[in-house]
Amino acid sequence: MGKRTNTATWNGKQWRIAVQKDGQRRYFYSSTQGRAGQREANAKADAWLDSGVCAKGARVADIGALWLRSVELSTSTDNYRPLESRWRVWVLPVIGAKKVDRLTDQDLQDVLNLAHAAGKSRKTLKSIAADMRAFCKYCRKSKISAYEPEELTIPAGARYKGKNVLQPDELAVLFNSDTTTFNRQRVPDPYINAYRFQVLTGLRPGELLGLRWEDVHGGVVYICRSINQLGEETQGKNQNAVRSFALSARAWAVLEDQHKITGNTGSVFRINNQHHYHTRWWAYCRTNGIVTISTYELRHTFVSVAKTLPAGEVKGLVGHSQDMDTFGVYGHALTGDAENIAQAVNAAFDKLLGEG
């Protein structure tokens, strides 16, 4: 509790007490006569000293800068940059000038409604809502405000942004054409195995870049690192990104082809950075008449092909579990479930590629 060394005094009309905290001076009053009024004024002062709630506190923009700094220091640059962008573009213009202690659910809802009206996807709106909740939590932990959002809702009309995936005829091209265009000449694509492996496993682009030969053991791949767009090595997008799975026969064949090129040490696919990988993939698409999709959408292609598998199995393969299932991971290795899943994935691709 805050330390108060004085007490309210009667000025002929009301009880009045002045207290100071962190360089800020506040006055509290009570018009109730008698000692009850004195206790009431003192209680108001004590509550302010104890809670730290800043009734005349800084504005959202000021405290937001402090919060962003704490986030920057505690997370990867890959996670921080999109958060900072959402805050700067969507939150600050709407509530940046408001005092933190005056925020209401409607203020935050206005941010979401305006972003929705601007055409942002449901996923983006959920991220903005999570950002604002995290900011309010920071304010509570810092005793700047006691406010906790309760009634934020994503507008009913918001939809997830559609993803493009390779269609069966385009998958057939991917697994039959090894060439691309470089310097206006048709040449073998050095990353053809990377494209194919990503489609066959559902790896994120950063996980593909981070894959090393020592991560492959006896037909099982262990995903334990990722290389973000800034070239930084991280442990992945979240705790579920650290996982292992058995390779399908097709995926194993792709690795064997890659082994002939790079040997069995160091990086598997020897890709410089994510931007370079994206650029070469798009060149491959243009050369071979494939719809130009992002390398991340190669991951969505895998999920689309594997959609006939049980949802729980697919989530485990791509690192989408709600919680890390340690027994599930090791249980697969012991009971043979991982091998069965790998065979099912292989059968799905065989069927699409006309080899089933």
* Tens of pLDDT, residues 288-343: 999 898 998 888 888 777 765 555 554 555 554 444 332 333 233 334 556 777 88
Q: What tokens does 243 get? A: 């996982």
Highest mean pLDDT among 36-50, 64-78, 171-185, 327-341: 171-185
Say if residue 276 is in the same domain as residue 195: yes
In eight-state DSSP terms, residue 238 is: S
Query: What would the pLDDT profile of 148-166 be if each residue is shown by its tens digit?
Result: 998 899 998 888 766 788 8
Q: Does 47 share its domain with 69? A: no
Is there a domain that residue 36 lies in? yes
Same domain? 121 vs 208? no
Indicate whether 216 and 174 sit together in one domain. Answer: yes
Instruction: Tell me: do 194 and 229 sit in the same domain.
Output: yes
CATH number at residue 90: 1.10.150.130
Average pLDDT for residues 90-119, to the nearest whole number? Answer: 94
Position 76 in a domain: yes
In a domain, 223, yes or no: yes
How sure is the predictor about 49, in pLDDT bands with cuts at 50, 70 and 90?
Answer: confident
On whether both 91 and 111 belong to a single domain, the answer is yes
243 and 326 housed in the same domain: yes
User: Within this chain, do residues 114 and 43 fall inside the same structural domain, yes or no?
Assistant: no
Q: Is residue 157 part of a domain?
A: no
In the chain, how many domains are there?
3
pTM listed for this prediction: 0.62
Task: Verify that 137 and 182 share a domain, yes or no.
Answer: no
Instruction: Please check whether residues 291 and 342 belong to one and the same domain.
Output: yes
Domain holding 294, by residue range, is: 168-352
Which of 55-69, 180-194, 323-337 is most confident?
A: 180-194
Indicate if the pLDDT at residue 33 is higher than 50: yes
Is residue 243 domain-shared with residue 130, that is, in the same domain?
Answer: no
Residue 8 has pLDDT above 70, yes or no: yes
Question: What CATH number has the domain bearing residue 328?
Answer: 1.10.443.10
Residue at 151 is within a domain: no
pLDDT: which is higher, 345 or 147: 147
In a domain, 147, yes or no: no
Say what the pLDDT of residue 333 is: 39
Q: Where are the alpha helices (DSSP H) in the chain?
A: 35-51, 60-74, 77-86, 92-95, 105-117, 122-141, 168-174, 192-201, 205-210, 249-262, 274-288, 296-305, 311-318, 326-335, 337-352
Q: Assess if residue 163 is contained within a domain.
A: no
Is residue 225 a part of any domain in this protein? yes
DSSP readout, 130-174? HHHHHHHHHHHHTTS-----------TT--PPP-----HHHHHHH
Higher-confidence position of 76 and 134: 134
Same domain, yes or no, for 173 and 242?
yes
